[in-house]
Amino acid sequence: MLSVRVNSFSENNLGEPEQDANSALTELDKGLRSGRVGEQCEAIVRFPRLFEKYPFPILINSSLLKLADVFRVGNNFLRVWVLRVCQQSEKHLDKILNVDEFVRRIFSVIHSNDPVARALTLRTLGSVAGIIPERQQVHHSIRRSLDSHDTVEVEAAIYAARQFAAQSKLFAVSMCNKISDMIQGLATPAHMKLQLIPILQYMHHDSSTAALVNFLFYTVLLKLDTFLQI
Name the pLDDT band for 159 (thresholds 50, 70, 90).
very high
pLDDT(61) > 60: yes
> Quick one: CA torsion of 44, 139, 151, 203, rounded to 10 degrees?
110
Domain ranges of the chain: 169-230
Name the pLDDT band for 214 (thresholds 50, 70, 90).
confident
CA angle 203, 207, 213 (to 5 degrees): 40
Among 167, 139, 142, which Cα is nearest to 157's?
Answer: 142
Name the pLDDT band for 224 (thresholds 50, 70, 90).
low
Q: Which residue has the higher pLDDT, 107 or 203?
A: 107
The predicted model gives 6-23 an average pLDDT of: 54
Among 47, 48, 45, which Cα is nearest to 81's?
Answer: 45
Global pTM? 0.84
User: How far is the C-alpha of 92 from the C-alpha of 78, rounded, in Å?
Assistant: 21
- The residues, any chain, with a CB within 8 Å of residue 14's CB and separated by 6 or more, are none
The predicted model gives 128-150 an average pLDDT of: 97
Q: What is the pLDDT of residue 185?
A: 86
